[in-house]
Amino acid sequence: MLTVQEVENAMATPTKALIDDLAQLDGDILILGVGGKMGPSLAKLAQNAVVQGGLGKKVYGVSRFSSGSLQQELEAAGIETIAADLLQDDDLQSLPNVKNIIYMAGNKFGTTGNEHFTWVMNAFLPGRVAEKFANSRIVVFSTGNVYPLTPIRAGGAKETDAVGPVGEYAQSCLGRERVFTHFSHKNNTPMLLFRLNYAIDMRYGVLLEIALKVNQKEPIDLSMGHANVIWQGDANRMALQSLLHCQTPPSMLNITGPETVSIKRLAEQFGELFQQEPVFVGEEQDTALLSNAAEAFRLFGYPHVSLQEMIEWTATWVINDGETINKPTHFQERKGAY
C-alpha cells in the first residue's frame, strides 16, 4: 500500500511534456489559494518541474496559512510562500507582479446559509485579482457545475454548450468566470477558465466516498447515478500546462476523466473487492453533472492514471484504513445546495 508521502510524491512527479511546456513560459509562477485540497500538490509539481528542467523560475504559494504546518512544508519543498488574506486589499496589492497566475481561491462548502461570503469569494474577489494581475496570464480554476445536468447518453457538456448553473454556489462560479472575462476584455489579459470535476486522490473524492459506504454497509444514493473523475496529479499537470493556452477573451477547458462512471457499477466493483453487498437507495435519473473533456485530451493527452488504477488504489487504501480528508464532494447534490 502507498503511504501518504508516496501519494504526494507521485502527484508531484513532472512529466517531460510538463517540463517542456513550462520551459516555454516567461516569468515565475504564483498560485493563489495554495492552501486548498489541490494547491499543495500543484505547487510541488510546479517546483519539481522547474528544478528538474533547470528552468530558473520561482514558484510562489499564497494562502492565509492561519493554522497547521503547510507553510513550512511548502517552504521545505522550495516554494516561496506568502501569507496573505486576498480579501484584504493591502495584502493583495503587496503581492509580487508575477507573469503566470494559477487562481485557485474560492468557496463551495458551507454556501447554504453563508451565501454572501461565497459570492464575495467567487465573484467579487476575481475582479480585484484581475485588476492586480492585468499584465499576467491567468488560469482560473472553475467547475463543471456551471453546466446544467445533462442527459447521460449525451456524453457530458462541451465547452461550446450553454451554461445553466443550478444553485447559488454554481451561480457564483459562473459569476467568477464572467468577472474574469470582463477584465480580460478590458485589460487584454490572457486567461483560461479551467472547468474541473471531480479531481481525486485516495484520501478524498467520489471514489473514496463510494468505497467507504460500501465497506461500512451504508446506503448509496443512486439519484445522481453517474459522475466523472480524474486523478488529482493529472488535473494539476493540465492546469500548469494550461498557462500556454490562455487567450483574450478567455478560452474554456473542461478537465475530467474520459469515462462516464456509473455509481451503481462502481459500488458493485468495490463490493467485489471488499466482499460486501452494496446497499442502494433512490433511482438513477437520466441526467447528471457530466463534462466532455475531449479538447483537454487533444491538448495534453489522456490522463496518465486510469480509472481502474484509481479504483484499485482506493480499495486498498480503505482496506488498510488509510488517512482521509473529511471534505465530501456532495456529488449526489442535484439542486446545487452546498
Calpha distance 230→80 (Å, rounded): 28
Q: Do residues 238 and 304 lie in contact, with contact meaning Cβ atoms separated by under 8 Å? A: no
- Say which DSSP state 122 is in: I
140 near 103, Cβ under 8 Å? yes
Residue ranges of domains in the chain: 4-203+230-259+290-303
pLDDT tens figures, 269-301: 999 999 999 999 999 999 999 999 999 999 999
Q: What is the pLDDT of residues 42-94, one digit of tens each?
A: 999 999 999 999 999 999 999 999 888 999 999 999 999 999 999 999 999 99
Q: How many CB atoms lie within 10 A of CB 10?
A: 17
Contact 334, 285 (CB under 8 A): yes
Cα–Cα dist 229/211, whole Å:
14
> Distance (Å, rounded) from C-alpha 287 to C-alpha 319?
32
**Global pTM exceeds 0.75:** yes
| Residue 109: per-residue pLDDT | 65
- CATH superfamily for 4-203+230-259+290-303 is NAD(P)-binding Rossmann-like Domain (3.40.50.720)
Q: Could you list the pLDDT tens digit for every one of the 338 residues in the chain? A: 778 888 888 899 999 999 999 999 999 999 999 999 999 999 999 999 999 999 999 999 999 998 889 999 999 999 999 999 999 999 999 999 999 999 999 997 666 788 999 999 999 999 999 999 999 999 999 999 999 999 999 999 999 999 999 999 999 999 999 999 999 999 999 999 999 999 999 999 999 999 999 999 999 999 999 999 999 999 999 999 999 999 999 999 999 999 999 999 999 999 999 999 999 999 999 999 999 999 999 999 999 999 999 999 999 999 999 999 888 888 888 888 76
CA atoms within 13 A on the CB side of 31: 27
121-142 burial, b at 16+ Cβ within 10 Å, e below that, comes to bbbbbbbbbbebbeebbbbbbb
Residue in the structure block whose three cell numbers are 493563489: 32
Rounded CA separation 203/331 (Å): 16
Which contiguous run of DSSP H or E holds residue 102? strand 100-103
Quick one: pLDDT at residue 2? 76
Helix or strand (DSSP H, E) at 53: helix 39-53
Give the span between the Cα atoms of 40 and 232, in whole angstroms: 11
For residue 82, what are the contacts with CB-CB under 8 A and spacing of at least 6? 60, 61, 62, 95
The predicted structure's pLDDT at residue 66: 87
How far does the chain reach from its first CA to its final CA, in angstroms? 33
How much is the pLDDT for 328? 83
